[in-house]
């Protein structure tokens, strides 16, 4: 078995990260077997290197190696691409065609982005994994193939299984051995090594001197998040090599090539099962309960007037169960509703009860009227600029637009 360092030199893999070395070591150990391997990791981490290592160190190395990007093949033709088709099987099938599994017989097939496969194709693939059998599109003849399957994905497979977009039995057949490649942000010490390698390659390609980073620029590059991983780092090295005349790159120059990701540190906006975003729900809840509080005030003032009492300041009757400066949480909302259901109204006469029922019946209408009035006033105040009005109302511009259409404003 070749050492990790020899394998890295042979396949041009740069870096000394422990997790990277562990992944390469697993690939070299599993290579002589026919076990199925699933390579996982974020997009751009270099997952395509692992199946090449496995194939070249296996007993199948003298046979075909075929790499298939499952996400790039249209759903209607992927079965034909993988398993072949008979003449006349569909419109445009003028000849019989061999699929990748037939061509790769005796070798290795690499299924990149396997998480993008349609469910019907997943059933066919499972049959190949279980007994090496497949049927061409438009044929009834069962054919045999002897291939080693290595798959890769950046999809979180357990979540895909829960959503029903990936078969659980296929996942466990593919992931007999699972190899995970670390994201670039977890390989801080390797970032500058990779940049130097890319800069040297582009200097040779474009016949120009190699760019070099200052110590401050190296530190900035090492602390950068790199959401696009190695692919993004390579693009940055190429841009700097082509655009900058000065071959010594400082921190000020490098900053122009690192996208500002400060917004990515903000909390994620989640959607519930009805498609509403959490921030919209919170703001709408706040608005509804403030309106409800005002209605409670009006009811109590009306009761006092009917009982020939002196007018009382409205602040006396504000429902203090909801702090207006805070957005109510789910627990607070539940407690508030329970409290309002359990709290009896002030004692009234029989005539007053009929009046209370009328108010309750009209409550929804009153809430709608108040909401329409608030939206109109905000739009007038902000010269019909929806963005400013939405900000003032504490809701998203999309929600405001929906309500304008709903109320025909």
Cα 156 from Cα 42, distance rounded (Å): 10
Q: Where are the domains of the chain?
A: 4-182, 185-264, 278-407
More confident residue, 18 or 344: 18
H/E segment holding residue 149: strand 148-153
| Residue 299 CA to its chain's centroid (Å) | 48
Contact predicate 179/40, CB 8 Å: yes
Cα 233 from Cα 290, distance rounded (Å): 50
Contact predicate 54/30, CB 8 Å: yes
Q: Check pLDDT > 50 for residue 80.
A: yes
Residue-level pLDDT at 222: 93
Identify the sign of the CA torsion 163, 149, 30, 7.
negative
Contact predicate 248/214, CB 8 Å: yes
Of the pLDDT bands very low, low, confident and very high (cuts 50, 70, 90), residue 308 is low
Q: Check pLDDT > 90 for residue 288.
A: no
Of the pLDDT bands very low, low, confident and very high (cuts 50, 70, 90), residue 281 is low
Q: Check pLDDT > 70 for residue 407.
A: yes
Residue-level pLDDT at 355: 46
Segment 373-376 long-range contacts (CB within 8 Å, at least 24 positions apart): 374/287, 375/400, 375/403, 375/404, 375/407, 375/409, 376/409
Phi, psi of 151 (to 5 degrees): -115, 160
The architecture of the domain spanning 185-264 is Orthogonal Bundle (1.10)
Q: Check pLDDT > 50 for residue 325.
A: no
Q: Check pLDDT > 90 for residue 107.
A: yes
Pick from 35, 87, 81: nearest CA to 60: 35
Correct CATH for 4-182 of 2.40.110.10, 3.40.47.10, 2.40.480.10, 3.40.50.300: 3.40.50.300
pTM metric for this prediction: 0.63
Give me the mean pLDDT over the 354-358 stretch.
47
Cα 35 from Cα 21, distance rounded (Å): 20
Of the pLDDT bands very low, low, confident and very high (cuts 50, 70, 90), residue 148 is very high
Q: Check pLDDT > 60 for residue 98.
A: yes
Give me the mean pLDDT over the 293-306 stretch.
75
Give me the mean pLDDT over the 375-382 stretch.
84
For the chain, the residue count is 409
Tell me the sheet residues that pair with 152. Answer: 39, 112
Of the pLDDT bands very low, low, confident and very high (cuts 50, 70, 90), residue 409 is confident
Of the pLDDT bands very low, low, confident and very high (cuts 50, 70, 90), residue 290 is confident
């Amino acid at each position: 078995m070749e050492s990790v360092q020899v394998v890295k030199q042979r396949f041009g893999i740069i870096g000394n990260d422990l997790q990277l070395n562990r992944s390469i070591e697993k690939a070299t150990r599993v290579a002589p077997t026919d076990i199925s391997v699933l390579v996982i990791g974020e997009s751009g981490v270099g997952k395509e290197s692992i199946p090449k290592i496995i194939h070249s160190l296996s007993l199948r190395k003298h046979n075909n190696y075929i790499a298939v990007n499952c996400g790039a093949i249209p759903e209607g033709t992927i079965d034909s691409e993988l398993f072949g088709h008979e003449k006349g099987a569909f419109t445009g099938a003028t000849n019989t065609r061999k699929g990748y599994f037939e061509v790769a017989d005796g070798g290795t097939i690499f299924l990149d982005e396997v998480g993008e496969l349609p469910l019907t194709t997943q059933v066919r693939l499972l049959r190949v994994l279980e007994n090496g059998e497949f049927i061409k599109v438009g044929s009834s003849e069962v054919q045999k193939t002897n291939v080693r399957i290595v798959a890769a994905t950046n999809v979180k497979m357990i979540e895909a299984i829960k959503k029903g977009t990936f078969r659980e039995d296929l996942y466990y057949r593919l992931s007999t051995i699972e190899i995970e490649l670390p994201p670039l942000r977890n390989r801080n010490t390797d970032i500058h090594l990779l940049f130097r390698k890319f800069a040297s390659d582009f200097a040779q390609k474009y016949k120009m001197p190699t760019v070099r980073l200052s110590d401050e620029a190296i530190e900035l590059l090492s602390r950068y998040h790199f959401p696009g991983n190695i692919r993004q780092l390579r693009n940055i090295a190429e841009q700097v090599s082509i655009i900058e005349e000065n071959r010594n790159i400082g921190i000020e120059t490098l900053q122009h090539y690192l996208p500002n990701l400060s917004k990515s540190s903000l909390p994620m906006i989640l959607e519930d099962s009805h498609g509403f975003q959490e921030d919209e729900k919170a703001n709408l809840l706040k608005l509804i309960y403030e309106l409800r509080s005002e209605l409670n005030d009006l009811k109590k003032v009306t009761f006092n007037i009917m009982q020939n009492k002196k007018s009382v300041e409205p602040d006396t009757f504000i429902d203090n169960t909801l702090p207006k400066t805070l957005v109510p949480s789910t627990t607070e909302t539940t407690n508030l509703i329970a409290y309002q259901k359990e709290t009896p109204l002030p004692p009234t006469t029989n005539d007053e009860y009929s009046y209370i029922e009328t108010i309750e019946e009209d409550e929804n209408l009153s809430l709608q009227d108040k909401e329409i009035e608030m939206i109109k006033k905000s739009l007038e105040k902000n010269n019909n600029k929806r963005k400013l009005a939405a900000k003032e109302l504490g809701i998203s511009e999309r929600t405001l637009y929906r309500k304008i259409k709903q109320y025909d404003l």
